[in-house]
Amino acid sequence: MTKTRKTRPLSKYFYLGGFVFVTAVIFVFSLTNGADSSTQSNFFRDIVVNALNFFGVSLTLDQVEVVGLLIRKLIGHLGIFAVDGFFGYFTFYRFLKTNKNALYSLIYSLVAMFIIAFISEGMQFLVPDRGPALVDVGIDFSGAVLVIFILFFIKNRLIKKESTL
């Protein structure tokens, strides 16, 4: 008797909805003008700096700028693409009907995330006080790659465990 994978039929729509929503958020942020984008980043930077001050850590102006840069790159690029990569991987995993589901999900989600990273940076050509950067495409894609590979290896391990039972 072979074991069948139990799935919740509506879960694929949950993942698809998350994937579409986070991708839309990425595109909206990409179309935000430079001044508003800086204001958003500085808001989060100030929260971190104030929290550090609360714990007795005071930063120089240069250090505050570095904190702002880290927040922009780690949360605004790497982080949001990690979340989108999560939803993208499971969207493809749930919608594909194949025995090599995990592998195809890996390939399709990586391609989709690269395209999203490239388009979201390219959209900045159209926005005042912003410009695309290939480094940002790399940071964006890295966030997605990290999560997608972790999910792929976890899924493969679970599939192998199921097949040995």
Task: Report if residue 112 sits inside a domain.
Answer: yes
Task: Report if residue 78 sits inside a domain.
Answer: yes
- Cα 14 off chain centre by: 17
Task: Report if residue 75 sits inside a domain.
Answer: yes
Task: Report if residue 3 sits inside a domain.
Answer: no
Q: Which of 123, 41, 111 is CA-nearest to residue 77?
A: 41
The fraction of the chain above a pLDDT of 70, given in percent, is 93
pLDDT in tens, 93-149: 999 877 677 888 999 999 999 999 999 999 999 998 898 999 999 999 999 999 999
State if pTM tops 0.75.
yes
Q: Which residues contact 162 (CB under 8 A, 6 or more apart)?
A: 3, 5
Number of domains in the chain: 1
CA-CA distance, 138 to 98, in Å (whole number)? 30
Runs of H (alpha helix) within the chain: 11-30, 34-54, 61-73, 80-95, 101-122, 134-164
Domain that holds residue 144: 11-164
Task: Report if residue 146 sits inside a domain.
Answer: yes
| pLDDT given at position 122 | 95
